[in-house]
Amino acid sequence: MSSPQVRFSVNIGNALAGMRRVDDAPDTRTTLELEGALATLFARTQARVHIDTGSLFASGKMTSRRTPNGWVGKISYGGASAGSVHNPVKYAWFEQRRGGSHDFMFTAEQHADATIARVVARALDGRR
């Protein structure tokens, strides 16, 4: 089974179609705001992880990268969990699928679109 993931992709180039020419890739300021938004969403997932051994919590990862015309951020759980009782964590997918209070990705998934949209809107407002 794969690990639970929430992936955010922002293609500002597409969002700017029809506007006067601007750089396709997010500028440094926008990239930093996207990183901050990702960190906020990651913190929401961490706050919801049930902590029995700490392994699932420790396996949480946040990664991101710039692309030629956008930015991709990812939150994932499972896999390596250095120094934890369960290393690697193989049960993240099952824990999340239990639902309810066990679905540690729920709040990130619920708030992701609006959170990222606010950053993109600010970037577009600043580029007009």
Q: How confident is the model over 7-53, as pLDDT tens digits?
A: 555 555 555 454 433 455 678 888 898 899 999 999 999 999 988 88
Instruction: Tell me the C-alpha distance between 46 and 77, whole Å.
Output: 10
Which pLDDT does position 3 carry in this prediction? Answer: 63
- Asked if residue 33 is part of any domain, the answer here is yes
- Asked if residue 89 is part of any domain, the answer here is no
Instruction: Tell me the C-alpha distance between 58 and 89, whole Å.
Output: 9
Provide the β-strand partners of residue 65: 72
The stretch 86-90 carries a mean pLDDT of: 89
42: containing domain: 5-51+62-76+103-127
The SS3 of residue 21 is coil
User: Which tokens belong to 7?
Assistant: 């992936």
Task: Show the DSSP H helices in the chain as ranges.
Answer: 12-15, 28-48, 55-58, 92-97, 106-127
Which pLDDT does position 45 carry in this prediction? Answer: 92
Which pLDDT does position 111 carry in this prediction? Answer: 84
- Asked if residue 57 is part of any domain, the answer here is no
Which pLDDT does position 128 carry in this prediction? Answer: 39
- Asked if residue 113 is part of any domain, the answer here is yes
Total count of domains within the chain: 1
Which pLDDT does position 115 carry in this prediction? Answer: 84
- Specify the higher pLDDT residue, 79 or 1: 79
Asked whether residue 55 carries a pLDDT value surpassing 60, the answer given is: yes
- Asked if residue 97 is part of any domain, the answer here is no
- Asked if residue 22 is part of any domain, the answer here is yes
Which pLDDT does position 4 carry in this prediction? Answer: 62
Mean pLDDT of the chain: 79
Which pLDDT does position 12 carry in this prediction? Answer: 52
Which pLDDT does position 46 carry in this prediction? Answer: 94
Asked whether residue 61 carries a pLDDT value surpassing 90, the answer given is: yes
- Asked if residue 91 is part of any domain, the answer here is no
- CA dihedral of residues 73, 75, 78, 81 (deg, nearest 10): 90
- Asked if residue 98 is part of any domain, the answer here is no
Residues in Cβ contact with 21 at an 8 Å cutoff, skipping those fewer than 6 apart? none
